[in-house]
């Protein structure tokens, strides 16, 4: 049985299977099969990798003398590479009191009363998960006075490409030109004037799911009419359809890869994602390269983080070979690395560290990125509440 499982996993990791998995016709077949052959309720096991965490260095923060330590509610996410175990390690090493918080239960609001800070990473970038965490975080933060990570503000743009585009545009950041409309008449009028090919996306979706190349206005019109139909357009999820909006992003000329740059305060980590031959997508293809990151890309990602006032942001960007400029395609709020070997440059594990004057150096070492994120969170979102005390 184990051998069979490894064979299936190996097959799924091949490039042609990853490309096939993202074809709309296959997505439609998979969704239909789930309707015809209903599955039993999904149960996702809780992964506990705490026995492997000591491979990384401890992240210890200096705590101001007159700043009280919060009572932390820690939600255990059910991911293959969980956040909660790294969060727990950080809390224990820094002697911050915490208890597990069962945010999905019916008594979630009553139980929240005992905490000052809520740490809640959603399991998946799916609408049902996002709906719950946005709704409950709003209540916890705005009505109950809790400090949440991620915050309600963050949840409102995370996994929402429409909001991301508007935020980037409003902050005069170099986002790839995108046409967004919730009006079919305007879309049909404008589609002949748009520059093709375009990249059509739904608001929610990671790993290049629900991403499609649109070659001409006829295809754009067909997609739009389906989206504005009574049932909307199918996505990679059988229970979720794209309804009454289009997101047509310019097909940005690039150098055959995109960059994912993750900013955590003064720390930068990231990698290249190569676009396979005969493909237009980089995300989800798993062609990562860990090499020295361009200085201008790191500075642009830091500017995004500063302008949006976030604890951590993963910024995806492309470089235009015609003028060498960088253009942002998307962002993510809770991107972290799965294993220690993912934090490396040219084969050496480590991180980039910026100083106050904007100079940076590569710092070798083994780190869990969720611990770096949590250190930044407390310094940025908890300490300022008691700044007058020290």
For the beta carbon of residue 142, count every other beta carbon within 10 angstroms. Answer: 11
In this structure, are 72 and 123 located in the same domain? Answer: yes
Mean pLDDT of 33-43: 68
Q: Give the Cα-Cα-Cα angle 22, 27, 32 (nearest 5 degrees).
A: 170
In a domain, 230, yes or no: yes
Q: In the prediction, which pLDDT does 182 show?
A: 98
Q: Which residue has the higher pLDDT, 390 or 379?
A: 379
In a domain, 228, yes or no: yes
In this structure, are 244 and 325 located in the same domain? Answer: no
- Claim: this prediction has a pTM higher than 0.75: yes
Look at the chain and report how many structural domains it folds into: 4
In this structure, are 86 and 117 located in the same domain? Answer: yes
DSSP string, 328-373: EEEEESS---SSGGGSEETTEEEEEEE-TTS-EEEEE----HHHHH
Pick left, alpha or beta for residue 64 (phi over 0 → left; psi -120 to 50 → alpha; otherwise beta): beta
Mean pLDDT of 127-142: 95
Segment 67-103, tens digit of pLDDT: 999 999 999 998 888 999 999 999 999 999 999 999 9
CATH number of the domain bearing residue 208: 3.30.1490.20
Q: Of the candidates 157, 180, 209, which is a domain's last residue?
A: 157
Q: Of the candidates 217, 250, 283, which is a domain's last residue?
A: 250
Q: In the prediction, which pLDDT does 345 show?
A: 80
Q: Which residue has the tokens 């101001």?
A: 64
Both tokens of 234, joined, read: 């199918």
In a domain, 221, yes or no: yes
Confidence of residue 278 (pLDDT cuts 50, 70, 90): low
Return the SS3 of 136. Answer: helix
CATH number of the domain bearing residue 299: 3.30.470.20
DSSP-assigned letter for residue 143: I
CB 233 within 8 A of CB 200: no
In this structure, are 339 and 299 located in the same domain? Answer: yes
**Domain extent at residue 318:** 257-370
Both tokens of 84, joined, read: 């909660």
Q: What are phi and psi of 350, to 5 degrees?
A: 165, -170
Q: How far apart are CA 225 and CA 197, in angstroms?
A: 18
Confidence of residue 344 (pLDDT cuts 50, 70, 90): confident
Q: In the prediction, which pLDDT does 208 show?
A: 54
Q: Of the candidates 186, 219, 250, which is a domain's last residue?
A: 250
326 bridge partner residues? 319
In this structure, are 197 and 127 located in the same domain? Answer: no
Q: Which residue has the higher pLDDT, 314 or 123?
A: 314
In this structure, are 241 and 270 located in the same domain? Answer: no
Confidence of residue 342 (pLDDT cuts 50, 70, 90): low
Mean pLDDT of 130-135: 96
CB 262 within 8 A of CB 316: no
In a domain, 152, yes or no: yes
In this structure, are 279 and 243 located in the same domain? Answer: no
Q: Which of 176-190, 231-245, 265-279 bottoms out in mean pLDDT, i.e. has the lowest?
A: 265-279
In this structure, are 10 and 98 located in the same domain? Answer: no
Q: HSE of 306 in the Cβ direction (CA atoms, 13 Å)? A: 10
In this structure, are 152 and 216 located in the same domain? Answer: no
In a domain, 41, yes or no: no
User: Which residues have CB under 8 Å from 373's CB, separation 6+?
Assistant: 264, 311, 312, 336
In a domain, 164, yes or no: no
């Amino acid at each position: 049985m184990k051998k069979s499982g490894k064979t299936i996993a190996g097959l799924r990791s091949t490039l042609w299977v990853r490309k096939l998995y993202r074809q709309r016709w296959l997505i439609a077949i998979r969704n239909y099969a789930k309707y015809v052959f209903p599955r039993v309720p999904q149960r996702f096991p809780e992964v506990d990798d705490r026995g492997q965490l000591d491979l990384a260095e401890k992240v210890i923060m200096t705590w101001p003398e007159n700043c009280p330590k919060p009572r932390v509610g820690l939600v255990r996410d059910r991911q293959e590479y969980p956040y909660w175990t790294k969060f727990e390690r950080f809390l224990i090493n820094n002697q911050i009191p915490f208890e597990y918080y069962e945010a999905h239960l019916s008594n979630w609001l009553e139980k929240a009363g005992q905490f000052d800070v809520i740490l809640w990473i959603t399991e998946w970038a799916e609408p049902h998960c996002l709906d719950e965490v946005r709704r409950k975080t709003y209540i916890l933060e705005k009505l109950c006075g809790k400090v949440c990570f991620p915050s309600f503000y963050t949840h409102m743009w995370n996994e929402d490409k429409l909001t991301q585009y508007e935020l980037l545009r409003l902050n005069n950041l170099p986002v790839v030109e995108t046409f967004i409309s919730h009006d079919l008449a305007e879309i049909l009028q404008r589609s002949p004037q748009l520059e093709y090919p375009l990249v059509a996306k739904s608001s929610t979706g990671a790993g290049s799911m629900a991403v499609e190349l649109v070659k001409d206005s006829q295809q754009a019109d067909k997609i739009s009419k389906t989206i504005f139909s009574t049932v909307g357009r199918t996505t990679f999820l059988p229970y979720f359809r794209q309804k009454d909006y289009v997101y047509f992003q310019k097909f940005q000329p690039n150098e055959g890869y995109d960059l994912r740059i993750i900013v955590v305060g003064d720390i930068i980590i990231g990698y290249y994602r190569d676009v396979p031959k005969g493909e237009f997508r980089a995300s989800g293809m798993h062609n990562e390269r860990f090499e020295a990151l361009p200085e201008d890309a790191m500075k642009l990602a830091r500017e995004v983080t500063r302008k949006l006032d976030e604890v951590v942001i993963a910024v995806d960007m492309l470089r235009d070979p015609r003028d060498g400029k960088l253009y942002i395609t998307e962002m993510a709020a809770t991107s972290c690395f799965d294993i220690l070997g993912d934090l490396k440059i040219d084969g050496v594990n480590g991180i980039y560290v910026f100083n106050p004057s904007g100079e940076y150096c590569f710092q070798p070492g083994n780190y869990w990125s969720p611990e770096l994120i949590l250190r930044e969170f407390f310094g940025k979102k908890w300490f300022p509440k008691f700044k007058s005390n020290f």
